[in-house]
Amino acid sequence: MSRAGRKRIAVLISGRGSNMGAIIAACMDPDFPGEVKLVIANRPDAAGLETARRYGIPAHAIDQKAYDSREAHERAVLDVLEAAQPDVVCLAGYMRLLTDDFVRRFEGRMINIHPSLLPLFPGLDTHARALSAGMRIHGCTVHYVTERMDEGPIIAQAAIAVEPGDTAEKLAERLLRAEHRLYPHALKMVLDGEVRMVNGQATYRRRTPLRLEDDGEAPLPAPQILLSPDARRNG
């Protein structure tokens, strides 16, 4: 899968890792400008670790419970992360607050997906909060990570309609499909240099629109596509 000129991506997860899966799937397109070199989870039971491994991607559990402090855990994460020399770090359901030092180290190179139309509903329980606020649309945001949680400059957003009878679960499920389209799209913009963070603002060279209605979600391609021709011959 390694191709010259493709940027190096690291993904931090805490759980099922479906957004990570969408990024891995996007990287299987040879024209995508990056490839996932590393996945780190702060919990050993994160299901996404197994998914990443099936795709031949090094996946490390760095259990936060094994460290005395946030700083000590972050140092361990940083050691593994920096060894992989990522151009971009993607937070994909990474449920641990990062210290300012960590964030500054990856300034302009670390992005996150949040399940609301920021600046509305930062934090948790976004779907229930959108419903109880009577929102008619809901959405997701990919943004640069800054010291202030869920407040970094917005890179791209996608919106979906709130339907009559929606529950937080139904809304979350529909929105997740939009997240899986938005995250690779926004990541590509970052990797291609279409957007950069300049003086705390997202600055665009070009803004490629995302049309959610274009098609449905493509399933994650089978992992064997990632195997080398030799490995495939050997069965």
- Residues near ligand GRF (CB under 6 A) are 13, 15-19, 92-93, 113-115, 140, 176, 179
Q: Which amino acid is at 93?
A: G
Ligand-binding site membership of 18 (annotated)? yes
234 in a labelled binding site: no
Residues 112/91, Cβ–Cβ less than 8 Å: yes
Residue 112 annotated as lining a ligand binding site: yes
- Measured from the CB atom, is 86 or 93 closer to ligand GRF? 93
Q: Compute the distance between CA of residue 182 and CA of residue 12 in angstroms, rounded to an integer.
A: 17
Cα dihedral angle (161, 184, 216, 169), rounded to 10 degrees?
-50
Determine whether 138 is an active site residue.
no
Q: What ranges in the chain are assigned the alpha helix state H?
A: 18-27, 47-54, 70-83, 100-105, 126-132, 168-191, 229-233
Secondary structure class of 36 (helix, strand, coil): strand
Report the relative pairing of strands 34-41 and 7-13 from DSSP bridges.
Answer: parallel
User: Nearest approach, Cβ of 37 to ligand GRF (angstroms)?
Assistant: 18
Provide the minimum distance between the beta carbon of 8 and ligand GRF in the complex, in angstroms, as a whole number. Answer: 20
User: Do the annotations mark residue 8 as ligand-binding?
Assistant: no
Q: List the catalytic residue out of 114, 138, 143, 185.
A: 114
Nearer to ligand GRF, 85 or 114 (CB): 114
Residue 170: CB minimum distance to ligand GRF, A: 14
The answer to whether 19 and 93 are in contact (CB under 8 A) is yes
Residue 196 labelled as part of a binding site: no
Nearer to ligand GRF, 170 or 227 (CB): 170
Question: In this structure, what token pair is assigned to residue 31?
Answer: 């024209």
Q: Which is nearer to ligand GRF, 83 or 124 (CB)?
A: 124
Using the minimum distance from each CB to ligand GRF, give the nearer residue, 145 or 202. 145
Q: How far is the CB of 122 from ligand GRF (least distance, A)?
A: 11
User: How many Å apart are CA 174 and CA 142, to the nearest integer?
Assistant: 17
SS3 for 201? strand
Is 34 flagged in the annotation as binding? no
Report, in Å, the least distance between residue 176 CB and ligand GRF.
6
The set of residues, in sequence order, having a beta carbon less than 8 Å from that of 211 and lying 6+ positions away, is none
Q: Binding site residues, as ranges?
A: 17-19, 70, 95-98, 112
Q: Binding site residues for (6R)-10-formyltetrahydrofolate, as ranges?
A: 70, 95-98, 112
Active-site residue set: 114
